[in-house]
Amino acid sequence: MAAELDEHVASFRNPPLGDAGPFIFVAADALTMKVREGGRVVSAVVLTATGVNADGHREVLGLRVATCESGAAWNEFLADLVARGLGGVRLVTSDAHTGLVEAIAANLPAATWQRCPTHYAANLMTVTPKSAWPALKTMLHAPLGLRPARRSSRPGPVRPPPGLHP
């Protein structure tokens, strides 16, 4: 039973990406969490990549656990995605982690990198007095014509911005 479960986990973690793509837009991020290892609690990083295909549907492209968020870890992770068939990427968004930006340039040379607006706003909020947050949020959203997000009970396809279709 464990061997059968291992096969299912391996097929989930390493699906071929060529048939599902091309993925025009990719978002890369890392989550830090505590895990129990060897009888003690340590920090681990989960590298994630999600993509939007030409039909506008979002898919998890890959997950990988690493000991730290390093350039080498990102390079290995993205190289694996490319080896599994990730192609046609035109835009990648992520935080401004130097190793990640370099790994994107090395593994997805045809893609444009853009700093994730959410990470940018979060970084900006850490150096802004809390009393100025409402005004700052208004200024950040104004150029994009955004209003506060409302949760939809029915998820639909994600549409890439105009001009990003192949």
On whether the pTM is more than 0.85, the answer is: no
pLDDT value at residue 125:
82
CATH topology of domain 21-35+42-115: Nucleotidyltransferase; domain 5 (3.30.420)
Domain span(s) for CATH 3.30.420.10 in the chain: 21-35+42-115
Euclidean distance between CA atoms 48 and 45, whole angstroms: 10
Give the list of residues 6+ apart from residue 80 with CB closer than 8 angstroms, or none.
14, 62, 64
H-helix or E-strand spanning residue 113: strand 112-115
Q: Over the chain (166 residues), what is each successive 10-residue block's mean pLDDT?
A: 80 78 91 92 94 87 92 95 92 92 95 86 83 83 63 57 52
Please identify which residue in the block is written with the tokens 């990648």: 92
What string of DSSP letters covers 38-66? TTEEEEEEEEEEEEEETTS-EEEEEEEEE
- Peptide bond preceding 157: is omega within 30 degrees of 0, i.e. cis? no
